[in-house]
Amino acid sequence: MAATRAGHPAAQGMLGWMQAHPERLRALLDDEAPGAEDLGPAGDPAVRAHLRFVAEALAATAAPAAAPALEGFARDLPALLAEREDRVDEEMRRVGEAHAFEADLQFGAGAGEDPAMQGLLDRRVRVAAWTRVFLAALDEARAPAPPVAPAALEWMGARQVQLADTIFAMDRRAKQAEIDRGGPDAVASAETANRIGQAATVQAHARFLVEGLAAVL
């Protein structure tokens, strides 16, 4: 329990599985796309696909005793998320003020009101809301095992600066990769920069969720 971040053996196992199966994430993204209004990198379909990917990694790397419940959770997760979609707005209201407060602590008073920062905060709040819905469904699937959502949320809540640093690092690496491929103007447009930032936000949250689950399971 003392180990944190991707150095935790369970996190290493899940992240290694995810890195070895990028085609599975692409398939999940395609599966979530039909009929969706927002197909952006941080739209609800992309968030759900990443949560399903985490669930499959959790099941694939689980101990034998825990595997049946986690495999069932991964299999049933699309329906579970669909049933609970109305809870996302409720969770957004719950976590929105906390995220704005944390932005002020990290970037200075009033940062949460800055238009440029607002888009990032909105994405983070929405992904955090979906994550809470995911964790509640996970606890139901694992019953009668002790719930993990409270401990996972506490672990993640105590490390929001770490999450912000991870988003920034992923965003920077992705932009540098675009520049390496397309030259210095490859990320000059606001649309491109926003697309990369959205993708980095969702990917960093998925990694963070893996690390939080590894720390408390």
- The pLDDT of residue 168 is 93
Q: Over pLDDT 90: what percentage of the chain?
A: 70
Report pLDDT digits (tens) over 96-122. Answer: 665 554 554 444 445 455 555 566 678
Instruction: Report the alpha-carbon distance of residue 27 to residue 87 in Å, rounded.
Output: 26
Q: Which of 211, 96, 100 is nearest to 155 (CA)?
A: 211
pLDDT at 176 over 70: yes
∠ Cα 102 161 179 (to 5°)? 115
pTM, rounded to two decimals: 0.87
What Rg, from alpha-carbon coordinates, does the chain have? 17
